[in-house]
């Protein structure tokens, strides 16, 4: 197993763990953490793609590196925004959960204003 | 791979307009932050109409030449650089969105305009900035020439759309916004995984280059599936629609109109780009039937739930869920039975026309609902009695929007459904025709419920809680009329949707 395969598998594992955490955890904060884990996995995959496509003399393909920097910035901004929303929700309601109304519960939603 | 037959992608004359369409909203957003406060509104007042002007120039350009506008950013050609391309689909959608956003801006002057002398507030400041950001992000979605640019565009769109949901800062809207953001984050990260896999396999994400290199293999299939699921979550296609009704119904009226009419079309447009342009031959009959099946389920589910709603805004939001379903019926209908490829045929035109007519009609309906809410102080459907006498123009706009959703002639919805039905008959897929006709019946059902209550006489004459400015009603009515008269484009520029399509570029020497 060469380094690229190892990192690729690690990336895949991170994506899997993150996805599992995102789907199963009901709490927004944990979902946000899982999203970041998932994101790290994707960034690692981008790194592997860059390394694998390395031309002679170059350490890696620069295009995926440029993409991954952009993607990290986007993920950072997304996390900041999600955290800001959770904090504001905490200030307004005193709890940071989406409450009993899990995303499957549309009846309660239609009941409120 | 046969790189030799790649058409030289070069900047066309007027290609710089495409850059302007993306840069000017971004400049407006930044300038608003720098100048602050009441300037945001003034900047938007200058930029949004000029955006409409820009979109019409691009529209006319593409229509006249029947070919794409291209701009190669920094003269670095793909795969290393980024290309911006405007084909017929982009031009038509840009034009529609510019019209809708301008109408929404006029409508929003009443709610988010700052009077002379009054202190500046946060909500209007945020609203105008977000409106410009949405406009810029949508232009980027329509013009982006590679899948990673589209990823950035769809993220910008999400970041602009989520705060619109919770502009008033109530706890319910914060929850709706958070739920929307979580769905959107999952969607975007799945899309990103797909782009990584595609780049790993083909070493480019440029749509034109990729469409030539791509072939059926496990990595491509996984990438396509992940990207599609991610985009479905952002488009709120059944069963990933759960975030949409609370988010769209809870937002202020002007924001709801933008979210329902404009934002969901962004991710839908990328689905179209992905399957019609990047890999037209990969969806196959089974995949196309699956897309259509999800669309049909959305139509039935959204309509049935809409029929049960007690509140007007939630009814309209569920109607959006149903109408999104129609957009996905075009996939099985556009599939050529012989070559098993998605064709840019009448079904594609019908589907895009459905997106356009839904955008105008739904924005008008949300604005009308906002006016009704302002006048009555509530939007309970059972207590709408007498409202048609108080604000006849608004109810008329609402009804005209409904006419387009149902698909009565001469509305845009009629032409769209006609084209889709024609494709269903031509390809012998009668079951989609049944779904479409049933959806029309459901739509007339919930429109009838609302309108019959609205025109019913009330015991005592209705006293409006606030005086609604005439231009607000006019903005809603203008959009509804646009949607109604959209069917008349059958005699005009409907063929622009086929202009500069990729297949026509591939076959035949040019």
Residues on chain B touching A86 (C-beta within 8 angstroms): 178
The per-residue pLDDT for range B73-85, each reduced to its tens digit, is: 888 887 788 889 8
More confident residue, A53 or B189: B189
pLDDT value of position B501: 66
pLDDT value of position B24: 93
In chain B, % of residues over pLDDT 90: 41
Q: Shortest Cα distance from B307 to chain A (angstroms)?
A: 13
- Find the range with the poorest average confidence among B218-222, B497-501, B506-510: B506-510
- State how far the Cα of B83 lies from the Cα of B70, in Å rounded to an integer: 7
Does residue A89 lie in a domain region?
Answer: yes
pLDDT at B282 over 80: yes
Whole-number Cα distances in Å, B164 to B119, B181, B316: 21, 12, 18
In chain A, % of residues over pLDDT 70: 81
More confident residue, B194 or B498: B194
Whole-number Cα distances in Å, B25 to A64, B52, B98, B384: 28, 12, 12, 39
Best mean pLDDT range from A56-65, B7-16, B72-81, B158-167 = B158-167
Give the mean pLDDT of B90-108: 92
Q: Least CA distance to B194: which residue of chain A?
A: A42
The per-residue pLDDT for range B350-390, each reduced to its tens digit, is: 888 899 999 999 999 999 999 998 888 888 888 888 888 88
Cβ within 8 Å of residue B59, ≥6 positions away? B91, B92, B94, B95, B493, B496
Q: Shortest Cα distance from B195 to chain A (angstroms)?
A: 9
Residue B273 is classified by DSSP as: I
Residues on chain A touching B314 (C-beta within 8 angstroms): 110
Q: For residues A3-40, b (16+ Cβ closer than 10 Å) or e, as one string?
A: eeeebbeebeebbeebbebbeeeeebeebbbbbbbbbb
Of B148, B186, B245, the CB nearest to A109: B245
pLDDT at B506 over 60: no
pLDDT at B288 over 80: yes
Residue B223: both structure tokens together: 């990438």
Does residue A103 lie in a domain region?
Answer: no
Strand, helix or coil for residue B482: helix
Q: Shortest Cα distance from B402 to chain A (angstroms)?
A: 22
pLDDT at B72 over 50: yes
Q: Shortest Cα distance from B4 to chain A (angstroms)?
A: 22
- State how far the Cα of B382 lies from the Cα of B380, in Å rounded to an integer: 6
For chain A, list residues whose CB is within 8 angstroms of any CB belonging to chain B: 15, 22, 28, 31, 35, 38-39, 42, 45-46, 48-49, 52-53, 61, 63-64, 67, 70-71, 74-75, 77-78, 81-82, 85-86, 88-89, 92-93, 98-99, 101, 103-104, 106, 109-110, 112-113
pLDDT mean across residues, chain B:
86
Among B318, B256, B358, B348, which Cα is nearest to B442's?
Answer: B318
- Find the range with the poorest average confidence among A67-76, B316-325, B329-338: B329-338
> What's the helix, strand, coil split of chain A in %, to 5?
75, 0, 25
- State how far the Cα of B163 lies from the Cα of B176, in Å rounded to an integer: 10
More confident residue, B339 or A5: A5
- State how far the Cα of A97 lies from the Cα of B106, in Å rounded to an integer: 37
Q: Shortest Cα distance from B133 to chain A (angstroms)?
A: 15
> What's the helix, strand, coil split of chain B in %, to 5?
75, 5, 20
- State how far the Cα of A42 lies from the Cα of B190, in Å rounded to an integer: 9
More confident residue, B56 or B9: B56
pLDDT at B489 over 70: yes
Does residue A112 lie in a domain region?
Answer: no
Residue B71's H or E segment, with its range, is strand B69-72
CB count in 10 Å sphere of residue B428: 7
Of A48, A86, A93, the CB nearest to B171: A93
- State how far the Cα of B467 lies from the Cα of B336, in Å rounded to an integer: 55
Residues in chain B: 510
**Phi and psi angles of residue B342, each rounded to the nearest 5 degrees, phi first:** -75, 125
For chain A, list residues with pLDDT below 50.
100-113
Q: How many helices (H) and strands (E) does chain A have?
A: 4, 0
- State how far the Cα of B40 lies from the Cα of B124, in Å rounded to an integer: 8
The per-residue pLDDT for range B229-276, each reduced to its tens digit, is: 999 999 999 888 888 988 888 888 999 999 999 999 999 999 999 998
Does residue A68 lie in a domain region?
Answer: yes
Residue B127: both structure tokens together: 């609203």
pLDDT value of position B491: 64
Among B234, B272, B254, which Cα is nearest to B355's?
Answer: B272
pLDDT value of position B7: 54
Give the CATH number, domain containing residue A26.
1.10.287.3510
Does residue A102 lie in a domain region?
Answer: no
Does residue A74 lie in a domain region?
Answer: yes
More confident residue, B419 or B346: B419
Does residue A108 lie in a domain region?
Answer: no
Cβ–Cβ of B196/A64 closer than 8 Å?
yes
Place of tokens 């009441």: B38
DSSP string, B313-352: HHHHHHHHHHHHHHHHHHHHHHB-TTT--B--SHHHHHHH
**pLDDT classification of B507: cutoffs 50, 70, 90:** very low
Give the mean pLDDT of B47-64: 90
Cβ–Cβ of A86/B242 closer than 8 Å?
no
Give the mean pLDDT of B403-430: 87
- State how far the Cα of B422 lies from the Cα of A105, in Å rounded to an integer: 38
Residues on chain A touching B188 (C-beta within 8 angstroms): 74, 78
CB count in 10 Å sphere of residue B417: 26
More confident residue, A94 or B507: A94
pLDDT value of position B232: 94
Give the mean pLDDT of B275-288: 86
Number of domains chain A is built from:
1
Does residue A111 lie in a domain region?
Answer: no
**pLDDT classification of B118: cutoffs 50, 70, 90:** low
Q: Is B64 exposed, middle or buried (0-12, 13-18, 19+ CB in 10 A)?
A: exposed
pLDDT value of position A111: 37
- Structural domain span for residue A60: 3-96
**pLDDT classification of B4: cutoffs 50, 70, 90:** very low
């Amino acid at each position: 197993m060469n380094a690229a395969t190892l990192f690729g598998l690690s990336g895949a594992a991170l994506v899997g763990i993150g996805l599992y955490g995102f789907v199963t955890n009901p709490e927004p904060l944990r979902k946000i953490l899982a999203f970041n884990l998932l994101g790290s996995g994707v960034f690692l995959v981008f790194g592997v793609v860059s390394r694998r496509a390395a031309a002679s003399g170059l350490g890696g393909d620069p295009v995926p590196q440029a993409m991954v920097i952009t993607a990290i910035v986007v993920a950072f901004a997304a996390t900041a925004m999600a955290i800001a929303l959770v904090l504001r929700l905490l200030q307004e309601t005193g709890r940071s959960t989406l409450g009993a109304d899990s995303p499957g519960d549309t009846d309660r939603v239609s009941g409120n204003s | 791979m046969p790189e030799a037959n790649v058409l030289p992608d070069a900047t066309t004359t007027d290609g710089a307009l495409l850059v302007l369409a993306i840069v000017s909203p971004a400049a407006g957003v930044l300038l608003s932050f720098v100048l602050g406060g009441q300037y945001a509104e003034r900047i938007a007042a200058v930029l949004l109409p000029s955006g409409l002007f820009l979109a019409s120039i691009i529209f006319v350009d593409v229509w006249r030449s029947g070919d794409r506008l291209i701009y190669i950013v920094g003269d670095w050609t793909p795969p290393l650089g980024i290309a911006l391309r405007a084909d017929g689909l982009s031009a038509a959608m840009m034009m529609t969105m510019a019209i809708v956003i301008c109408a929404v801006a006029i409508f929003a002057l009443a709610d988010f305009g700052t009077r002379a002398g009054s202190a500046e507030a946060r909500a209007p400041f945020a609203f105008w900035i977000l409106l410009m950001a949405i406009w810029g992000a949508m232009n980027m979605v329509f013009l982006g020439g590679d899948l990673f640019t589209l990823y950035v565009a769809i993220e910008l769109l999400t970041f602009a759309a989520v705060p619109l949901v919770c502009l008033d800062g109530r706890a319910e809207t914060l929850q709706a916004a958070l739920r929307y953001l979580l769905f959107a984050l999952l969607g975007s990260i799945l899309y990103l995984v797909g782009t990584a896999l595609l780049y790993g396999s083909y070493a480019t994400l440029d749509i034109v280059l990729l469409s030539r290199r791509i072939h059926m293999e496990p990595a491509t299939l996984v990438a396509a599936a992940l990207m599609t699921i991610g985009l479905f979550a952002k488009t709120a296609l059944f069963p990933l629609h759960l975030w949409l009704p609370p988010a769209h119904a809870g937002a202020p009226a002007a924001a709801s109109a933008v979210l329902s009419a404009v934002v969901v079309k962004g991710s839908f447009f990328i689905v179209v780009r992905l399957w019609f342009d990047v890999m037209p031959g990969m969806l196959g009959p089974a995949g196309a039937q699956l897309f259509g099946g999800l669309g049909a389920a959305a139509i039935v589910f959204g309509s049935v739930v809409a029929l049960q709603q007690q509140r007007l805004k939630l009814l309209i939001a569920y109607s959006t869920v149903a109408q999104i379903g129609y957009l996905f019926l075009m996939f099985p209908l556009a599939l050529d039975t012989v070559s098993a490829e998605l064709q840019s045929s009448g079904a594609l035109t019908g589907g895009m026309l459905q997106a356009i007519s839904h955008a105008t009609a739904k924005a008008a309906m949300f604005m009308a609902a906002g006016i009704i809410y302002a006048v009555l102080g509530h939007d309970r459907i059972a207590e709408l009695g007498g409202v048609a006498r108080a604000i006849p123009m608004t109810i008329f706009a609402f009804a005209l929007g409904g006419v387009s959703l149902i698909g009565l002639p001469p509305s845009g919805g009629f032409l769209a459904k006609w084209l889709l039905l024609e494709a269903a008959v031509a390809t012998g897929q009668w079951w989609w025709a049944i779904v479409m006709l049933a959806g029309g019946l459901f739509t007339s059902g919930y429109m009838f419920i609302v309108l019959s209550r609205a025109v019913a006489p009330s015991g005592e004459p209705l006293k409006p809680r606030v005086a609604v400015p005439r231009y607000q009603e006019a903005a809603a009515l203008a959009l509804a009329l646009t949607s109604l008269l959209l069917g008349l484009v059958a005699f005009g520029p409907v063929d622009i949707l086929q202009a500069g399509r990729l297949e026509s570029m591939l076959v035949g020497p040019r």
